Amino acid sequence: MLFNSAMFLVFFICVYILYWFVFKKHKVWILLLSGCIFYGCWDWRFLILLFFTSGVDFLSAQKIGESENQKAKKTWLIASVLINLIILGFFKYYHFFAESFIDLLNIFGFHPSFTTLKIILPVGISFYTFQSIAYVTDVYRGKIKPERSALHYFAFICFFPQMVAGPIERAKKLLPQFKKEKQFSFLYFETGINLILYGFFKKIVIADNLALIVDELHADPQDHGPEILFLGMIAFAIQIYTDFSGYSDIARGTAQLLGFKLSKNFYFPYFSTSLKQFWSRWHISLSTWFRDYVYISLGGNKISKFKRNINLLITFIASGFWHGANFTFILWGFFHGLGLIGEKSLNKIRLPKVLSGVLVFLFVAVLFTLFRAASFYDFVNYMQLLLSFNNTSGIGVIHLITGKLFFIIPFLLFVLFEISKYNKKGLSKYKYNMIGNFLILIAILLFSVFENAPSFIYFQF
């Protein structure tokens, strides 16, 4: 059930009416049941998996909270994390390891011919697994107390606005919101609608139009000149940002309509003047998760500089691997880790902010090309063609602009909105809502991609 579908619209209207106006005293039950229906529409069988892993974590947190023995607490934590990671690894990485093992045997002259299992990846498994692991770990670290109500805990895991693609919420922030009595407020409605409109604008106007161009360029890069491939590289950087931040805005807006506040997942990442700043603004809920539960667990900043750098690389490689079973993701994380290490080494060099911002954006855009590529070979091929300045074959700039860049008007509007929000001296909140929402509605009506619209990019993770 995609956010940008008629089915979700009907589903949410029903949930909204039942939640606010029919079952006023049973709101948490409505949220739990609606989360089950929402997730079950993908594949109802995976609800069993969802409740099994969540049940293990709920029980583990209870045992950790009850125990006075540190060794017993650690045993329950390890058991919970291992069960989650084994299940995640099986569904998400089985084919990767099986195929890699076969390739390794082929190198040594063995040619196995066994049939691999046909495994379907449960949607959102990476997101709700990490959210649940964070909960048990925080209970173990004493940051929160274990939740006693199974109803509230499972509603927290099954909260449909963010369960399949984040933000990855911390129990400390989201769980108490299920216990708080909520009264209908027009403020919830106004702020929620604003976020949803802006999210749809990003997704179906900007990202989906850019996808038409990016997909064509990556399918046959040799048919295009370097200037077009450069535009394609920039286009995908904008596409993945508007696609994912658009989803996050819709998720936050949907939650806001129900009286919940979710974490901000993006904060103008392409205005960053350093890689460190970029990672404090991009997919914030995931980057802080890896910082708190991987990097800090490995020693954080309390160890030697050499070990910190190694742990930073490990953290970013793990972050890349989280995105999927492909070496391109691992390399993407590895190169970002190297970039951060290099940036720390060169921190005494002061460049103009504009130049720093351009360099950071180009570094990120190049690595997003690797992120997008089906294989490392495809990435190298794309970059070689991009840097072949004598290559003038294929579609010209003017032809591409007149033929497909009809997203240029909404794109300029998007840039205007981003800058006006970023600039504290920009439009007032009232004028932004009135003027911005009016322009967004016009852009959605004129430029949206509805037919064969692509799914959200991060649904595959």
233-266 pLDDT per residue, tens: 998 999 999 999 999 999 999 999 999 999 999 9
The C-alpha atoms of residue 275 and residue 272 are separated, in whole angstroms, by 7
Q: What is the mean pLDDT of the chain?
A: 83
Find tokens 């294929």 and name the residue: 394
Separation of alpha carbons 388 and 374, rounded Å:
21
* Confidence at residue 6, expressed as pLDDT on a 0 to 100 scale: 80
Compare 247 and 213 and report the one with higher pLDDT: 247
CB atoms within 10 A of CB 354: 9
Q: What is the pTM of this model?
A: 0.85
pLDDT grade, residue 337 (50/70/90)? very high
Letter string b/e over residues 404-423, b meaning 16 or more CB atoms within 10 A of that residue's CB: ebebeebbebbeebeeeeee
User: What are the φ/ψ torsions at residue 405 (nearest 5 degrees)?
Assistant: -80, 50
List, by residue number, the catalytic residues: 323
Helix axes of 70-107 and 125-140: crossing angle, nearest 10 degrees: 150
